Structure 1
Amino acid sequence: MQIQTHPLISPALGTERHLQSFHYGPSGAQKVYIQSSLHADELPGMLASWALRRKLAALEAANKLRGEVVIVPVPNPIGLNQHLLGQMIGRFETNTASNFNRNFHDLAALVTPRIEGRLTGDAAHNASTIRAAMRDALAEQTPRTELESQRLALQRLSCDADIVLDLHCDFEGAMHIYTNPDLWPEVEPLARYLDAKASLLALNSIGNPFDEIHSFCWSELRARYSDRYPIPHGSISVTIELRGQADVSYGHAEHDAQAIVEYLTCRGVIDGTPAHMPPLAHPATPLAGSEPLISPVSGVLVFRTPAGTWVEPGQEIADIVDPLLDRVVTIKNNTAGVLYARHKTRFATTGMEIARVAGATPFRTGSLLSP
C-alpha cells in the first residue's frame, strides 16, 4: 500500500489542507477509485471506507489484488472544518454556498478536441487514448480557489478509473444507488450485494456531480463517435447512498465494505470466488420518475411511513401538525414505489421537500438532484 498526499490551495495566511489517497494492489490493470463523505456530514461512508481499507490490506498481503484500488476516505477536509453553532455544514462550502458535489470539470468537453483524428476501429486503443486525454487535460487546469483545487485533485485521481464508487448517504433513507442507465447491467450485481432498496438511473441529472462526470463522458463520446469508432463503457461510476446520516455503525460498515469486496471480486479486481448474489429488492427506476413530496404548509413533521417501505399511491406518508391552528395536514404520494429518502428535520417549512418515492414512470425534466 502506498499513501499519496495532495496539497490544496491555501485559502488564507497560516492555513493549508490536503487530501490523502491510499493505493492498494498493482497498477497497470483495472483501476478502482472509491471515496467517501464528499458531503462531509455524511459519515457512514467514512466508516465504511475504513472497514474496506482493512479488508484491502489483508487481500493485498495475501496477493489477491489483481488491480489497483484507490481509497480517499476524506475527500472534503474543507467541509469537515465548517461548523456553525455546533452544527457541521458539510454539504455546501460556506464561502460560496456551492455544493461540494457539483461543478466538476466536464470531461467530454475537455477531451473531445484532443481525440479528434486519434480514434481508430480498435475499442481498447480508443479507451487508452481517451484516458490519456483526460489526464493531460486535467493536468493543464489551474485552480483559483481551495475548493477548485479540491475538486481538481479528486478528478485527477479518479478520471482514468474503470470503476468509480462515491459513498454518500441521505438525511434519512434506505440503501439506494444512482448510476447511468447505460451501465445498469454492470452495476446490478453491486446493487444486489449492497441490498439496495432503490436503484435510480439518469444519464445526466444536471450539475456535474462527481459520479456522473465519469460515466457521462463516455456516453457523450459514444453518442458523438459511435457511428465511426467503437467507444466502450470506460467508467462504471456509481453513487452509493449508505442509508441515513445517523446510520453509523460497525455492523453497517462491515456489510457495506464486504458488499464492495464481493462486487470487485465479480469484476476480477480481487482474486477469488464471489459470494452468492442476493436477489434484487426492487427493479431499477428512472431518477426522472422519483416523486418529491412537498409540504404545502408549515408545522411539526411526523412521519407515518418508514424509509425503505414500498408505498402505493395515496398512502399516508407524513403529517404536518400546526399547534396554533389545531390543524393536521397529511402528505400522500401519487407514485407507487419505494420511499427511499426522508428529511431529518422534524419542522417543515412551506414548500420544503420532506421525502422522495422511486417511481417507474419518468415525469420530471431538468435538474433531477436535490440542491
Structure 2
Amino acid sequence: MKTEQIALSPLAPGAGLSLTVHRFGEAGARPRVYVQASLHADEIPGMIAAHHLRERLVALEAEGRIKGEIILVPFANPIGLAQRVLGDHIGRFNLADGLNFNRGYPYLVPKAAERIKGKLSADPDANVRLIREALRAELDAWETNNPAEVMKKALLTLAIEADIVLDLHCDSEAVEHLYTHTRSADEFAPLSALIGAQAYLLADESGDDPFDEACSRPWGELADRFPDHPIPFSCHSTTLEFRGERDVSHELGRRDAASLIAYMTLRGVVAGDAPQIPAPHCRPTPLAASEPAPAPATGIVVFLAQIGDHVKAGDVIADIVDPQTGTVTQAKSPCEGVVFARIAQRFVTKGARLAKVAGTTAQRTGKLLSA
C-alpha cells in the first residue's frame, strides 16, 4: 500500500485540509478500480466498510493477489467531516453555500467531444485512450472557485480514468440499494446480488450532476455522438447505499468489504477463485419509477411500513398524528414496489418526503434524486 496526501484549499488561513489516498497494485495496471467513502461526510457505513476494505487489500497485496490497480479514498470529504452545528454533524451540504457535496460535478462531454472530433479511429482501445486523455484535459482546465470545488476536482481527477468507480454512501434508514447508469446494469448485477440489494435503480441522467455520473455519463453520450466509431462504455460507476446512517458496526463493515472484494475478484482485479454469486433479491428498475411518499399533513410520524416491505399503491406507509387536535392522517404509497428508504425524523411538515418506493413503471421526469 502506498499512501499519499493531496493538499486542498484551506477553509481559512492556517486551516489546511487534505485527502488521504491509498493505492494498491501497480500504477497503470488494468482493470483500475476507484473506491471512495462518505462523500456525504455524515454517512459513516461506507467509511467503516472502507476501513475493513483497506485491511483486506493490505493482506491481499502482501500475498501478491492484486492484479489491477485499486485506489481507495477512505474519507472523501474532509470539509464535511469538520462541520458541526450545535453539536449536530452536517456532512451532506456545504455550510458555506448550502450545496450538496454530491452534486455539481463538471459536465465534460461537450468540450471533450470537440477534442476528439476527427481523431477517432476503428480501434476501440485507441478510442478509449483518446477519450480518457480528453476528459482528463477538460477536468484539468476546470477553474475552481472555492474549497468544495477544489475537493471535487481532486476526487474526480482520481476517478476519471478508472474502469470501475464505487462510491460508498448510505441513506437515513434503508435497505441495501444502488444507483447506476442504464448501460451498467449487467456490469453491476453481480455486485447488487453480493451486497443483497433490495433496489437496483437505473438512469442515464438523474439530474444535478452527481459524482458517479460525472465518471460514467461521458462514455454513453460520446458513443451516441460518434456512432460511426467503436467507443466501449469504459467507466462503470455506481453509488452503493449501505443501509442507514446508524448501521455502523464491524460486522457490517467486514461484510460490505467482503462483498467488494468478491466483486473485484470476479472482475479480475484481485486474483482468486470466482466467487459464488447469490440469487438477487431484486431486478433492475428505472430510477424514474422510484416514487417519494410525501407527508399529507404536519405531525408525528408513526411508520407502519418497514424498510424492505413490498407495498401496493395506496397502502398506508405511516400515520401522521397532529399532536394538537389528535387527528390522524394516513400517508400512502404512491406506487407498488419496495420501501427501500425512509427518513429518520419522526416529526414532519406537510409535503416532506417520508419514504422512497422502488416502483417498476417510469413516471417521473426531470431531477430524480433527493436534495
Same structural fold, with TM-score higher than 0.5 when normalized by the shorter chain: yes
Q: Deviations over 1:51-107 (max 9, x none)?
A: 000001111010001111000011100001110011011110011001000011112
Deviation per CA, 1:163-197, whole angstroms, max 9, x where unpaired? Answer: 00000000100000000111101110000101000
CA distance in 1, matches of 2:213, 2:135: 15
What is the aligned partner in structure 2 of residue 57 from structure 1?
Answer: 58
Structure 1 residues 239-254: aligned runs within 5 Å: 239-254=239-254
1:8-55 CA deviation, whole Å, 9 max, x = no partner?
112311211010110001122211000000000000000000000000
Residue in 2 that maps onto 1:13: 13
Question: Are positions 1:111 and 2:150 aligned together?
Answer: no
Residue 355 of structure 1 corresponds to which residue in structure 2? 355
Instruction: Kindly tell me the number of residue pairs found equivalent between the two proteins.
Output: 370
If the length of structure 2 is used for normalisation, what is the TM-score?
0.98
Question: One-letter code of the match for 2:299?
Answer: G
1:138: Cα distance to partner? 1.8
**Equivalent residue, structure 1, for 2:260:** 260
Amino acid at match of 1:304: L
User: What are the ranges of 5 or more consecutive residues in structure 2 without an aligned counterpart?
Assistant: none
Structure 1 residue 267 displacement after superposition: 0.6
Look up the equivalent residue of 2:55 and give its one-letter code. R
Whether contact under 8 Å (2:292, 2:355) holds in the other structure is yes
SS of the aligned residue for 1:71 comes to strand
For 2:129 and 2:14, the matched residues in 1 are separated by: 41
1:105-148 deviation per Cα after TM superposition (whole angstroms, max 9, x unaligned): 11213411211121101111100111111222222333221111
SS state at 2:241 partner: strand
CA contact (8 A) 1:64 1:270 kept: yes
Structure 1 equivalent of residue 300 of structure 2? 300
Percent identical residues:
42
CA contact (8 A) 2:292 2:334 kept: no
Instruction: Write the mapping of 1:112-151 to structure 2, written as runs, cut at 5 A.
Output: 112-151=113-152
SS at match of 2:46: helix
* Matched-pair contact (CA < 8 Å) for 2:292–2:357: yes
Corresponding residue number in structure 2 for 1:191: 192
Rounded to whole Å, the distance in 1 between the matches of 2:187 and 2:60 is 23
Tell me how far apart the structure 1 counterparts of residues 57 and 197 of structure 2 sit (CA, whole Å).
23
Give matches, 1:215-234, under 5 Å.
215-226=216-227, 228-234=228-234
SS, match of residue 167 in structure 2:
strand
- Correspondence 1:86 to 2:117: no
Runs of 4 or more off by more than 2 Å in structure 1?
A: 139-142
Task: List alignment gaps of at least 5 residues for structure 1.
Answer: none
Could you give the per-residue CA deviations for residues 253-311 of structure 1, whole angstroms, max 9, x where no partner exists?
Answer: 11111101111111111111132100110111100001100002100001111111111
Contact conserved, 1:176 with 1:196, CA < 8 A, in 2? yes
SS at match of 2:145: coil
Secondary structure at the counterpart of residue 153 of structure 2: helix
The TM-score normalised by the length of structure 1 is 0.98
